[in-house]
């Protein structure tokens, strides 16, 4: 789960990471009042859960109240990478002397939280990582000791020289690590971390992702979420025991298992079709789950046909077939459906489906993909 | 031979009294796996289908000499269960539980390292050495004894692959589902090395998926260290960036972790890549002939 | 720093350790209202920073409101081990099925937090420790992993058998450890930890000591303190750079260094005198510090004479002597003072003191002790 | 010989630019201790009285081959400084800083153990091998080369004892103030063993104080393991229970940790106990004669 900059900054404040004076606003009037309260000049920043705000014109430096209001008028409601800006953050304009990048992420390779630092702050770090990987210092944090201040200093001396800056930045890193583990983050970034002209080190931006698996420990974070319509569908599906991701294609897929579900999409693609979604119904033959799954598929107006791909493992295919028949008997399905059953008792399962005019059987995944692609042409 | 588990594996089941724990204990037992004890705090002295239950892993290990454990406890308690097994001297822990917070796993990694404990998973279907032992939730009927080692990040995709191999008469030495989470225990490199050193294994199937760069690393590793033929498959070729495909680890971030990159890496390392699962038995059969 | 049971319980509640329904009260009227709110029967418990409340009559089980008021009247204002009871805690009366002891302490031997458990709950644990040490289970907690739930369970199965109780108690121990390290405790005890008749595990009492060295990290704890007059003196002294502890004797001591200060008390004692205090002025010859120190000594009405015992190390004795002379020139001291100077430049120091009629010099600690004892007879 | 420090000790000073750090660096240098570097983050490239300053201990160790460190940084940063020294490969850390939160020390103990780092202190005056090296804040003029090893929980009491020994012509091999905190690094047992194995040491002075049971343990340990004569002294015989006597560790809790118990334990172990400091040179002289 991602949260907005202003929410991340509130968390920063709670962990005593220095941030600027700033106020989140939803209307130009609020922006005007915020500018008064903070004192001009101010920066008005779009709050959207994506990168590249600056390039899209979502960040404006304003010297007068009228400029601030104008910026608010322009930014509020604008679309950045398909996301509508509903809030802006009005910030004190910092007198920036230096900009750095610092971040932490759950790292697959070191199996630890990886601390990342770069002297190239304020730019897209993914670009730096691709073009100049050597400009990013990476330090694996031992989870048993946490990030110790001396380790933070050692790391920072790679990108900074001034002792006073290093001390402040080390303190910020130690606090950020504390925030990271206490909040079950999967990513936390400060880009840029700036040194202002008075020598003070401040987090000028903040990006935080939480580990979805750990959200049960942090009920209070729920209200920080700002899900898109598609993400709301995913969450709704999750509550029904389904892993669902909406895509742009025409063929709805219903599969048991994430790897097989991805492969089903790939095979549809391979034979010239376009998958409308990723959908993993898990390991049960429960008809209710199938009904829920079909509802997700059919609610997608782009779906012209459905491919069901089940590998019977512990659950036998004949049981799955019975579940499917029961589910489909209760539903009004007006698009072609191809079912491929494989694995334990697959033949018996296919036998049960025979003669069911709503459900076209297929023997292999490739055959199923080809059949459904043909059916919707 | 076979890798990791065999007829001498002595297994305990953590969470044996739960629904999944008791069900799969029955299945493993039926297959011939030596299930020597179960753990369920407070239920010491009882038994599940004749298997004695202990309060703690330490006690179970002491009383039964168990060397392997399978963890079925709910996600919020699962990392603790793995740590308990490790501290009790268990050598191999298979963690089936799905949805464990990543930092819980990160926190126990040093405990596993300190004790030299191997972990498979979490969020995995387990492993099987056909005809010898099965530790997991795998449908045993699709497997067949033979000479192909299989490593896979996903469950049903593994079954699909194995089913296709078995249908063509190609048996398996050991098949391992390593788990779909971003941070897992044994990974490609360690397992490839084990298969390389296993007399019974003549070829290796590697089923990867999008997310991370483990497949790229495996490709480089294979080129340098593995002499046996390896055939790969990558799931998620049509997955868009920024969307998590079911598995917590299956995620393309900022254009990295794509299937295209992984396939390219394997091909550059001389590893054949199956376009779809049905191509796998063909490529493996060719490999075995050489 | 010790805190009252009710403050410790508030901290428990913050860390989600189950406690009873309870209200802290300062008057019998508040107790009556609390009894109404909680529902009778209730237990009225004296809030004093010492053990043995029960034996002293400071804990009463009351079935009626009048009994509660009477208990409040009796307990409020009573003295327990010289401490006046100013507050009582009114608690829901628990239906106790079983009582246990659990505690944590910074342990010198294992250099770790030691978890202690005993099936002998509700009694003075020091007694159990002395008489039946084997009845206390001790587990050293690895600070790098913290107390893991399985470790708590393993430990608890030594004193409990029921899985449901163990699970609840393990959860409490894990939370108590978290409280312990987050709050920089030096001791945390739940005695008794009870299982009530419904099978619920609850902390019925709570004792917490904080590490004084770490209080700077926990400013909010300051208001939980309830210092005695003597302790207030100690804190006042600490703020002036002195380590001072008031005792009951007649000879005020002023010494540099804690070990030497204790030894000075011992030597006074050895020669038949009684020390009025422990006082370590640290390693400086600053006259202001000496003046502060003398003020503490002379404010103690029991003090009939003063023994100053200085070992000059890095600080030279002649400098110390000058400091003492300057300090005494500014003060009105009407009790005999013996000064012993030793170490670096001791002879020069003693030379400087010669002829000063306020300050009797001595060559050794023993001589100084004997001189001051003789002087006050 | 001598223990822990000698002419080959290469010392770094953590917190060299602070008031205490720079003052005592001068004193140690004067005494002949090889002070090879100082640490002060951000001041790399400068020097203090000719001693080069580095940003990190790791760098200083790499550049100078230092093996010992003394820590003068303020209490709230001191445990981190000790950990830094340990992780940088320093073998012996002397922590002078007073007032360190006990849990800070507890947290770094496993780091020290992992790296095999010895720690003296915290809240200690350091140690001296007279004529060879001094690492601490000790007044060097009172010490004299000789054959008595001294271990003490307090500072000025140590000076008092040493002064009395030196006045009677009894020199010292190594004198160590182990610190007045409840949890400290090297303790009686380790140091007694080092003195037992040190050719130069012929008798041992042990200055204990109230609080804990380290003296009782030392007594039992001496009885079993130490052949050289040991004379003890215990400070705090007249201290009441429940009152902390200056040192964080000097506290009698619920009647345990009293001087009486400790004296009894030593006497039971055949260790003579001086009644007051002036008795120490007498007892030591007797011991050395035997």
pLDDT tens across D240-279, in order? Answer: 888 888 888 888 777 788 999 999 999 999 999 999 999 9
Residue D12, pLDDT > 80, answer yes
Residue C82 or residue A33, greater confidence: A33
* Domains of chain B by start residue, with CATH: 10-120 (3.40.50.720), 139-289 (3.40.50.261)
Q: To the nearest whole number, what is the mean pLDDT of chain B?
A: 94
Contacts of residue D240, defined as CB under 8 A and 6 or more positions apart, other chains included, come to C247, D252
Identify whether B247 is a catalytic site residue: yes
Mutate to test the interface with A, among C144, C171, C178 (most CBs of A within 10 A): C144
Half-sphere exposure of residue A261: CA atoms within 13 angstroms, side-chain side: 26
Residue B4, pLDDT > 80, answer yes
The single residue of C5, C22, C99, C189 carrying the catalytic annotation is C189
Half-sphere exposure of residue D267: CA atoms within 13 angstroms, side-chain side: 10
Identify whether A189 is a catalytic site residue: yes
Shortest alpha-carbon distance between residue D30 and chain C (Å): 13
- Cα C204 to chain centroid, rounded: 22
Share of chain C above pLDDT 70, in %: 99
| Partner-chain contact A145 C145, CB within 8 Å | no
Mean per-residue pLDDT, C254-280: 94
Residue A100, pLDDT > 70, answer yes
Q: What pLDDT band is residue A285 in, cutting at 50, 70 and 90?
A: low
Q: A148 contacts in D (CB within 8 Å)?
A: 80, 83-84
Of A101-115, A289-303, B33-47, give the lowest mean pLDDT range: A289-303
Chain A: list its partners (3+ Cβ pairs within 8 Å).
B, C, D
Q: Which of B76, B74, B69 is nearest to B119 (CA)?
A: B69
Pairwise CA distance, residues B279 & A74, whole Å: 54
Residue A45, pLDDT > 90, answer yes
pLDDT at C332: 84
Complete edge-to-edge strand list for the sheet that includes strand D172-177: D133-136, D126-129, D172-177, D145-152, D203-209, D230-235, D272-273
Q: B43 contacts in C (CB within 8 Å)?
A: 163
> A207: left (phi > 0), else alpha (psi -120 to 50), else beta?
beta
Q: A161 contacts in D (CB within 8 Å)?
A: 42
Q: What pLDDT band is residue B150 in, cutting at 50, 70 and 90?
A: very high
First to last CA, chain C: 38
Strands D92-95 and B133-136 turn out to be unpaired
The single residue of A189, A234, A244, A250 carrying the catalytic annotation is A189
Share of chain A above pLDDT 90, in %: 69
Residue A25 or residue A124, greater confidence: A25
Q: Which helix (H) or strand (E) holds B208?
A: strand B203-209
Q: B278 contacts in A (CB within 8 Å)?
A: 364-366
| Partner-chain contact B41 C148, CB within 8 Å | no
* Domains of chain A by start residue, with CATH: 21-92 (3.30.1490.20), 96-224 (3.30.470.20), 229-376 (3.40.50.261)
Residue A307, pLDDT > 80, answer yes
pLDDT at A284: 66
pLDDT at A355: 78
Please, what is the Cα angle at C314 between C308 and C315, to 5 degrees?
Answer: 45
Q: What pLDDT band is residue C284 in, cutting at 50, 70 and 90?
A: low
| Partner-chain contact D43 A163, CB within 8 Å | yes
Share of chain D above pLDDT 90, in %: 87
Name the E strands within chain D.
10-14, 34-39, 47-48, 51-54, 68-71, 92-95, 118-120, 126-129, 133-136, 145-152, 172-177, 203-209, 230-235, 272-273
Mean per-residue pLDDT, C172-176: 98
Question: Least CA distance to C144: which residue of chain A?
Answer: A144
| Angle between the N-to-C axes of helices C5-14 and C163-182, in degrees from 0 to 180, rounded to the nearest 10 | 100
Residue A346 or residue D66, greater confidence: D66
Are the beta carbons of C159 and C132 closer than 8 angstroms?
Answer: no
pLDDT at D73: 95
Shortest alpha-carbon distance between residue C144 and chain B (Å): 10
Contacts of residue A355, defined as CB under 8 A and 6 or more positions apart, other chains included, come to none
pLDDT at D221: 97
| Partner-chain contact C366 D155, CB within 8 Å | no
> D72: left (phi > 0), else alpha (psi -120 to 50), else beta?
alpha
Question: Least CA distance to B234: which residue of chain A?
Answer: A263
A240, A259, A275, B202, D244 from B284: Cα distances, Å: 39, 20, 29, 10, 76
Backbone angles phi, psi at A364, to 5 degrees: -125, 165
pLDDT digits (tens, 9 = 90+) for C196-232: 999 999 999 999 999 999 999 999 999 999 988 888 9
Q: C145 contacts in A (CB within 8 Å)?
A: 144
Shortest alpha-carbon distance between residue A217 and chain C (Å): 13
C245, C250, C275, C309, D176 from C261: Cα distances, Å: 11, 16, 10, 8, 19
Residue C284 or residue C153, greater confidence: C153
Nearest to C111 among D106, D213, D275 (CB): D106
Contacts of residue D9, defined as CB under 8 A and 6 or more positions apart, other chains included, come to D33, D34, D67, D68, D132, D133, D135
State the complex-level ipTM.
Answer: 0.92
Q: Number of residue pairs across A and C with CB atoms under 8 Å?
A: 3
Specify which residues A340 forms β-bridges with.
A309, A362
pLDDT at C285: 66
Mean per-residue pLDDT, B261-285: 95
Shortest alpha-carbon distance between residue D267 and chain C (Å): 19
Q: A163 contacts in D (CB within 8 Å)?
A: 40-43, 55
Q: Judge whether A10 is closer than 8 Å to chain D, CB to CB.
A: no
Strands A207-210 and A2-3 turn out to be antiparallel
pLDDT digits (tens, 9 = 90+) for B110-147: 999 999 999 999 999 999 999 999 999 999 989 999 99
pLDDT digits (tens, 9 = 90+) for A244-275: 999 999 999 999 999 999 999 999 999 999 99
pLDDT at C181: 97
What count of other Cβ atoms lies within 10 Å of the Cβ of residue C97?
Answer: 13
Q: Maximum Cα–Cα distance for chain C, whole Å?
A: 80
Pairwise CA distance, residues C38 & D255, whole Å: 39
pLDDT at A324: 82
Question: Least CA distance to C164: which residue of chain B?
Answer: B42
* Three-state DSSP class for residue B63: helix
């Amino acid at each position: 789960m991602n949260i907005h900059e202003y929410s991340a900054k509130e968390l920063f404040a709670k962990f005593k990471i220095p941030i600027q004076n700033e106020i989140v606003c939803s209307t130009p009037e609020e922006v005007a009042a915020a500018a008064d309260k903070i004192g001009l000049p101010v920066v008005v920043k779009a709050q959207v859960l994506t990168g590249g705000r600056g390039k899209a014109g979502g960040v404006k430096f304003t010297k007068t109240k009228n400029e601030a209001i104008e910026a608010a008028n322009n930014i509020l409601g604008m679309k950045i990478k398909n996301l509508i800006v509903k809030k802006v953050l009005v910030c004190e304009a910092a007198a920036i002397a230096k900009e750095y990048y610092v971040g932490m992420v759950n790292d697959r390779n070191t199996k630890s939280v990886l601390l990342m630092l770069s002297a190239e702050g304020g730019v897209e770090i993914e670009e730096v990582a691709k073009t100049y990987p050597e400009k990013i210092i990476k330090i694996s944090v031992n989870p048993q000791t946490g990030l110790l201040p001396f380790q933070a200093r050692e790391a920072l001396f790679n990108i900074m020289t001034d002792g006073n800056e290093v001390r402040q930045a080390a303190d910020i890193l130690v606090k950020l690590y504390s925030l990271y583990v206490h909040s079950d983050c999967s990513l936390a970034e400060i880009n840029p971390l700036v040194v202002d002209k008075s020598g003070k080190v401040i987090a000028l931006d903040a990006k935080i992702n939480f580990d979805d698996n750990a959200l049960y420990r942090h009920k209070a974070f729920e209200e920080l979420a700002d899900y898109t319509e598609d993400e709301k569908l995913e969450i709704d599906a999750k509550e029904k025991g389904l892993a669902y991701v909406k895509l742009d294609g025409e063929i709805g897929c219903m599969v048991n298992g994430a790897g097989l579900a991805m492969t089903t999409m790939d095979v549809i693609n391979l034979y010239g079709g376009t998958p409308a979604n990723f959908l993993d119904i898990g390991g049960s033959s429960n008809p209710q789950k199938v009904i829920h799954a079909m509802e997700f598929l059919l609610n997608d107006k782009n779906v012209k046909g459905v491919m069901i791909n089940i590998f019977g493992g512990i659950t036998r295919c004949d049981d799955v077939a019975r579940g499917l028949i029961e589910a489909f008997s209760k539903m009004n399905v007006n698009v072609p459906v191809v079912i491929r059953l494989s694995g334990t008792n697959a033949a018996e399962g296919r036998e049960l489906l025979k003669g069911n005019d709503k459900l076209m059987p297929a023997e292999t995944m490739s055959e199923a993909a080809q059949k459904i692609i043909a059916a919707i042409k | 031979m076979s890798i990791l588990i065999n007829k001498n594996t002595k297994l305990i089941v953590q969470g044996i009294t739960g629904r999944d724990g008791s069900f799969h204990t029955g299945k493993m037992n039926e297959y011939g796996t030596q299930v020597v004890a179960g753990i369920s705090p407070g239920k010491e002295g009882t038994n599940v289908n004749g298997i004695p239950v202990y309060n703690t892993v330490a006690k179970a290990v002491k009383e039964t000499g168990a060397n392997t454990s399978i963890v079925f406890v709910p996600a919020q308690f699962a990392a603790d269960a793995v740590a308990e097994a490790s501290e009790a001297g268990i050598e191999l822990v298979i963690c089936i539980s799905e949805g464990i917070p990543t930092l819980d796993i990160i926190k126990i990694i040093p405990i596993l390292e300190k004790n030299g404990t191997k972990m498979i998973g979490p969020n995995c279907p387990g492993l099987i050495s056909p005809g010898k032992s099965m530790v997991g939730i795998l449908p045993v009927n699709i497997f067949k004894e033979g000479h192909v080692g299989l490593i896979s990040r996903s469950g049903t995709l593994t079954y699909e692959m194995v089913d296709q191999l078995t249908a063509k008469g190609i048996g398996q030495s050991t098949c391992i589902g390593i788990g779909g989470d971003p941070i897992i225990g044994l990974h490609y490199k360690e397992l490839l090395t084990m298969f390389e050193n296993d007399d019974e294994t003549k070829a290796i199937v590697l089923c990867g998926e999008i997310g991370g760069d483990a497949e790229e690393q495996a490709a480089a590793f294979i080129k340098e260290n593995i002499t046996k033929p390896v055939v790969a498959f990558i799931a998620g070729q049509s997955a868009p960036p920024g969307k998590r495909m079911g598995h917590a680890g299956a995620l393309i971030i900022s254009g990295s972790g794509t299937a295209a990159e992984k396939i390219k890496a394997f091909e550059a390392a001389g590893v054949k890549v199956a376009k779809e699962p049905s191509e796998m038995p063909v490529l493996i059969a060719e490999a075995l002939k050489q």
